[in-house]
Structure 1
Amino acid sequence: MKIENTADLQVLIHTARGGTLTAAAAALGITPAAASATLKRLESQLGARLFERSTRAMRLTPQGQTLLDYAVRAFELLAEGESLVLADRGALVGTVRVAAPSDLTRVTLLPWFDEFLDRHPGLQLALSVGDRPLDVTRDEVDVALRYGRLADSRLVARRLADSRPALCASPGYLKRHPAPRTPQDLLQHNCLTFHRGGRRQRLWRFCRNGHWTEVRVDGDRVVDDASLAREWAIAGRGITLKSELDLQGDVAAGTLVRLLPEWDTEPYPLHALLPSGRFVPERVRALVDFLALKFDAIPGGGHRP
């Protein structure tokens, strides 16, 4: 028998992504029983087992992996055709799924997203905010905005902005504690650190006259949401090292003060990441182009191809 309903393939795709039928059912808005029945129907029609079941997760069989690859490509081609038809009507429609760092979103991106949606009323935004890097392929993200160097060669990256970490503290903190004159002075300060990519960022690096120095800082608090490190710094709780894009508004307003300005820090570029080899809908391309123009208009923060 052949597959009678190609929509059933969505259960295959979401089960592979989520690892369980329960996850697939939640993503598709159906019951786990319905998802299980659909998968069994697919296997019966094909005469092949698509998953190896266990009490904890479901693992694709070689036959299941083959069908998954073709199913994903088939739905991408349908999405491409739909996008081209709708583009001919002059309007962008559909959902753009974006993952972005917490502070960048709150400080910079929110009004830009509002402007973009106002320009394209047929679009919806599904926004995932946090400093835990998502898997762009598995987590159903159309585009992820990420700081730092790129290690995943499977992804297509477009640089949006050149940035470096900035060392900052509030005027209130500096009234109580002498401002550091060298990176080693940070050992005497309360440094506000956060996790990035699952690791605490305690090793702060500075360069002067071509010579790099490293300081392993410490403090009385650490957080997995970098936006809270910024809020603690503004409240006078210590010194933080964060992207200058996140802090430039606070520096301009006087709520934070730049420290050690004569010392350079490591490049910390911002990229838009898209899955490699996957069709990029026009709505996603339009958002990335829009953000690139916005970052390019920031003095000193524009992207460099």
Structure 2
Amino acid sequence: MKIENLGDLHVLVHTARGGTLTAAARTLGMTPAAASATLKRLEAQLGTRLFERSTRAMRLTPQGQILLDYAVRAFELLDEGESQAAADRATLVGTVRVAAPSDLTRNLLLPIFDEFMAAHPGLQLQLSVADRVLDVMRDEVDVAIRYGTLADSRLVARTLANSSPICSASPDYLRRHGTPRTPQDLLRHNCITFDRGGRRHRLWRFCRDGQWTEVRVDGDRSVDDASLAREWAIAGMGVILKSEIDQRRDLDSGALVALLTEWQTEPYPLHALLPSGRFVPNRVRALVDFLAARFAVGAGS
């Protein structure tokens, strides 16, 4: 049998997001009993179970996951169609949900976002600023701005800037502790580390004349917010290894001093990540194009 009421899929989507029928019912403004009846009707129409039920939560079955992915894409397509039908084709409307690193957002992206929003007053921006990596496929995110290589085949990456991390420290720290001349000198310095990809990044790699060397650094401070690592470095607390894009203002102002400049580090490109195969609304494509254009003219070079 075919699905008779497209609105029933809202119960599927919100149950998957909230983990329970009660959460879905609350979001949809209906009773838990009505939500449960809707889900049972949907399963009966399809002839398959969509959730494994327990006393604490509901977990999608493989069939439920397949239907969820298509349902989310269908609702996005409908939203985009309604928006375009109700507005001039040149007008962008709706919400753009963006996830981006904290330091990059504060130092570089905010004015770019402001400029984009000013050009498209019909849009709303929902910004998630954190260094933890959100699941673009499952979380409510249209595009994620992230450093590093693409490891998830379900995502499409558009390169915004080619970047490599550099070591730096404040002039005050270098006066008190000396300037490292080789990567091995970092073993005698207080190195501030932060999470990269959900793991503490302590293995720093450098290359000169085609030869790579690795140094496992240590220090008295680590943090899961890269912007705080940068602030500690500016305050003279230690040495950091961080994208040059994030540090450019501090390097230009003299708040931080670049170290080991004769050594190369591994490429750490900046990407805009989009879900592969999912319908991408015009407003999201427009933002990615806008970001790419701004980085191309100098924001990230």
Q: Answer whether TM exceeds 0.5 for this pair.
A: yes
Query: Aligned to 2:40, which of 37, 40, 43?
Result: 43
Relative to structure 1, is the Cα distance of residues 24 and 262 closer, same or farther in structure 2, using a 3 angstrom cutoff? farther
Specify the alignment match of 1:129 in structure 2: 129
Specify the alignment match of 2:207 in structure 1: 207
d(CA) in 1 for partners of 2:66, 2:160:
36
Report the residue type matching 1:118 in the other structure: A
Instruction: Give runs of aligned pairs for residues 59-74 of structure 1, distance below 5 A.
Output: 59-61=59-61, 63-74=63-74
Q: Which runs of 5+ in 2 are unaligned?
A: none
- Greater CA deviation, 187-196 or 70-79? 70-79
1:13 equivalent in alignment to 2:13: yes
Relative to structure 1, is the Cα distance of residues 255 and 84 closer, same or farther in structure 2, using a 3 angstrom cutoff? same
Relative to structure 1, is the Cα distance of residues 89 and 150 closer, same or farther in structure 2, using a 3 angstrom cutoff? closer
Q: CA deviation at 1:284?
A: 0.4
Q: Secondary structure at the match of 1:266?
A: coil
Q: CA deviation at 1:233?
A: 0.2
1:163 equivalent in alignment to 2:160: no
- Greater CA deviation, 37-46 or 17-26? 17-26
CA RMSD of aligned residues (A): 2.1
d(CA) in 1 for partners of 2:33, 2:186:
57
Instruction: Give runs of aligned pairs for residues 27-176 of structure 1, distance below 5 A.
Output: 28=27, 30=29, 34-35=31-32, 37-44=34-41, 46-47=43-44, 48=47, 49-61=49-61, 63-85=63-85, 88-176=88-176
d(CA) in 1 for partners of 2:70, 2:255:
54
d(CA) in 2 for partners of 1:251, 1:70:
47
Q: CA deviation at 1:2?
A: 6.9
Q: 2:97·2:143 contact (CA, 8 Å) conserved in 1? A: yes
Specify the alignment match of 1:178 in structure 2: 178
Relative to structure 1, is the Cα distance of residues 87 and 216 closer, same or farther in structure 2, using a 3 angstrom cutoff? farther
Q: Secondary structure at the match of 2:39?
A: helix
Q: CA deviation at 1:295?
A: 1.1
Q: 1:2·1:46 contact (CA, 8 Å) conserved in 2? A: no
Relative to structure 1, is the Cα distance of residues 171 and 30 closer, same or farther in structure 2, using a 3 angstrom cutoff? farther
Report the residue type matching 2:96 in the other structure: V
d(CA) in 1 for partners of 2:114, 2:81:
28
d(CA) in 2 for partners of 1:237, 1:29:
50
Q: 2:169·2:239 contact (CA, 8 Å) conserved in 1? A: yes
1:261 equivalent in alignment to 2:261: yes
Q: CA deviation at 1:46?
A: 4.9
d(CA) in 1 for partners of 2:250, 2:216:
25
Specify the alignment match of 1:282 in structure 2: 282
Specify the alignment match of 1:295 in structure 2: 295
Relative to structure 1, is the Cα distance of residues 159 and 70 closer, same or farther in structure 2, using a 3 angstrom cutoff? closer
d(CA) in 2 for partners of 1:44, 1:94:
31
Relative to structure 1, is the Cα distance of residues 164 and 44 closer, same or farther in structure 2, using a 3 angstrom cutoff? same
Q: Secondary structure at the match of 1:237?
A: coil
d(CA) in 1 for partners of 2:66, 2:274:
23
d(CA) in 2 for partners of 1:150, 1:157:
7
Report the residue type matching 2:52 in the other structure: E
Report the residue type matching 1:38 in the other structure: A
Q: CA deviation at 1:15?
A: 1.8
Q: CA deviation at 1:24?
A: 3.6
d(CA) in 2 for partners of 1:287, 1:189:
41
Task: Give the number of equivalent residue pairs.
Answer: 298
- Identity within the alignment, %: 73
Q: Which runs of 5+ in 1 are unaligned?
A: none
Q: Secondary structure at the match of 2:7?
A: helix
d(CA) in 1 for partners of 2:28, 2:189:
51
d(CA) in 2 for partners of 1:62, 1:259:
51
d(CA) in 2 for partners of 1:36, 1:270:
47
What's the TM-score once normalised by structure 2's chain length?
0.92
Q: CA deviation at 1:119?
A: 0.8
Q: 1:83·1:281 contact (CA, 8 Å) conserved in 2? A: no
Instruction: Give runs of aligned pairs for residues 215-294 of structure 1, distance below 5 A.
Output: 215-294=215-294
